[in-house]
Amino acid sequence: MTNDGGIFGLTAQAKARLLEKLASHRISRAAATATRKGGGPEVEDDFENLQGYREMRMIRTASEALGIANPFFKVHDAMAGAETSIGNQTYLNFSSYNYVGLNGDARVTAAAKAAIDRYGTSVGASRVVSGERGVHRELEQALAEVYNAEDCIAMVSGHATNVTVIGTLLGPQDVVLHDTLIHNSVLQGALLSGATRVAFPHNDPEAADRLLAGIRSRHRRALVVIEGHYSMDGDTPDLAAFIALARRQRAWLLVDEAHAIGVLGATGMGIAEHCGVDPREVDLWMGTLSKTLVSCGGYIAGRRSLVEYLKFQAPGFVYSVGMSPPNAAAALEALRILRQEPERVAKLNANSTLFRDRAKAAGLDTGFSVGASIVPIITGGSIRAGRLSDALFRRGINVQPILFPAVPEPLARLRFFLSSLHTEDQIVHAVEVLAEENAKVGTEESGLKSLSKLISATKG
């Protein structure tokens, strides 16, 4: 991935000068740094020398120079729904995964409280030894039914689920073929496994087929990984085409449903329902419990042999404490409500489509969003995204910017998460304010002049 403009539009030379400025403010640790005997690598024991930390400091300095407030780690005073409270002020909220409005639902809360009363707040051990509870199996059975799967395994973290499952199933003789926009957890799992990793162009099954066909014979096992609903762009794959690809190439197919459950399909059962595909055609269904199911954790649904293998072999399950009882109970109750009240899904999608269509009509770039809970507003640069997020916050709207390097610099954006709880008036108001502030940001100085002044001050 190339980015000629650099972060916040900085060239490589400007970036280097800004890093030098940051270094000049750091306490020297030269005495603690020395060269090992025998010409070994330089010894370094200062966390401030970590490249990632220096990059963070650079971004912070550039933001301060441009007058952009830090949009991250805002402290919410209470439960976040269509509205939220930050600093004792109420904001219209588009930064939460509470897609069908079940966070804080009295039935979900009661289920979590009942689980605490019965089991306590922790199971106190790995499920393999003495941490197994009935609510775990109830949840796994309910999740398996979503996909008409033989079984399911639930874990304490969505991110860790992908990491430990991919890291366990594959090895150095294998290959992982994934969408170029796949989630970080998949990349980390592939890295852990030691398998060859190959990315294919976003949502392009034909290109994926060609890539895998060219290398399949050199590898023992192959895993193709896609998302059911992409969290950055809000678009969906052609599931049937990827299933056909996996069968042709004798590969397993893993579909990450983190942002698809409760969002896609007439009843919210995900990309398979959305595409009219038999979910049994997919080898591994992965999902998280922290979005629609308003809890915390991850899961894998599929064949019984797969689940049994993971329960005894996946380090992230075997060596981790079992999911807490209130989390398991909350997710189970949320899933029950979702299946009983599909009108929540219909309202969510109506809201999302309304937001996307009105934003488009206002001349805003909504990318490839299908209008199902996630609508990006592409700004064309991190400076514009940061300024626009800040301007909206000042007008009572909470939405986060996505900046380089999370996305390529030209694709920096605001990412709006819609909910079934949002009203039509709130959506109309938000788009009107968004369009107004976007126009104002478009007439402002790009910020490069301010950065040039900052960098010039460091010369000499």
For 148: left if phi > 0, alpha if psi spans -120 to 50, otherwise beta; the answer is left
Contact between residue 33 and residue 42 where contact means Cβ atoms under 8 Å apart: yes
**Assigned domain for 17 exists:** no
Q: Do 196 and 292 sit in the same domain of this protein?
A: yes
Alpha-carbon span 364 to 377, nearest angstrom: 7
In a domain, 456, yes or no: no
On whether the CB atoms of residues 191 and 197 are closer than 8 A, the answer is yes
Residue in this structure with the two tokens 């000049």, named with its chain if needed: 24
pLDDT of residue 234: 96
Structure confidence at residue 32 (pLDDT): 41
Listed in order, strand segments (DSSP E) in 113-182 are: 151-155, 175-179
Residues facing residue 272 across a β-bridge: none
Please say which residue of 307, 340, 373 terminates a domain: 340
* Boundary of a domain, candidates 317, 340, 363: 340
Residues 349 and 298 in one domain: no
User: Which residues on neighbouring strands pair with residue 42, listed in sequence order?
Assistant: 35
Look at residue 90 in the predicted model and tell me its pLDDT: 95
Q: Is 124 part of a structural domain of the chain? A: yes
Whole-angstrom distance, CA of residue 195 vs CA of residue 333: 38
pLDDT at 376: 97
Report the domain count for the chain.
2
Strand partners, 242: none
Residue 129 DSSP code: I
Residues 307 and 436 grouped into a single domain = no
Predicted confidence at residue 310, as pLDDT, reads 98
Kindly state whether residues 213 and 322 are assigned to the same domain: yes
Claim to verify: residue 248 and residue 332 sit in the same structural domain: yes
389, 459 in Cβ contact below 8 A? no
Burial of residue 348, with CB atoms counted within 10 A of its CB: 0-12 exposed, 13-18 middle, 19 or more buried:
buried
Domain ends where: 340, 355, 373? 340
* Domain identity same for 275 and 224: yes
Phi, psi of 398 (to 5 degrees): -100, 110
Q: Mark whether 304 and 432 lie in a shared domain.
A: no
Whether 320 contacts 126, CB under 8 Å: yes
Give residue 452's pLDDT. 53
Residue 249 falls inside a structural domain = yes
Tell me the pLDDT tens digit for each residue of 417-458: 999 999 999 999 999 999 999 999 876 544 444 455 555 554
- What are the beta bridge partners of residue 153? 300
Q: What is the pLDDT of residue 56?
A: 74
Local structure of residue 412 (DSSP, 8 states): -
Distance (Å, rounded) from C-alpha 260 to C-alpha 402? Answer: 20
Residues of the chain with pLDDT under 50: 1-7, 22-36, 445-450, 458-460
Residue 377 lies in a domain: yes
Q: What is the pLDDT of residue 34?
A: 44
The whole domain housing 384 covers 83-99+342-449
CATH code: domain of residue 421: 3.90.1150.10
Q: Which two tokens stand for residue 444?
A: 């402002």
Does 242 lie in the same domain as 186? Answer: yes
DSSP state of 126: B
* Both tokens assigned to 7: 């972060």
Count of CB atoms within 10 A of residue 184's CB?
11
Cβ-Cβ contacts under 8 Å for 258 (sequence gap 6 or more): 158, 183, 227, 228, 229, 231, 286, 287, 288, 291
Q: Is there a contact between 437 and 421 (Cβ–Cβ < 8 Å)? A: no
Q: What contacts 431, CB < 8 A, 6 or more positions away?
A: 355, 358, 359, 362, 364
Query: What is the domain-level CATH number for residue 116?
Result: 3.40.640.10
Total-model pTM: 0.88
Same domain, 227 and 88: no
At 316 the pLDDT is: 97
The helix or strand, by DSSP H or E, that contains position 304, with its residue range, turns out to be helix 304-313
Q: Which two tokens mark 431?
A: 């788009």
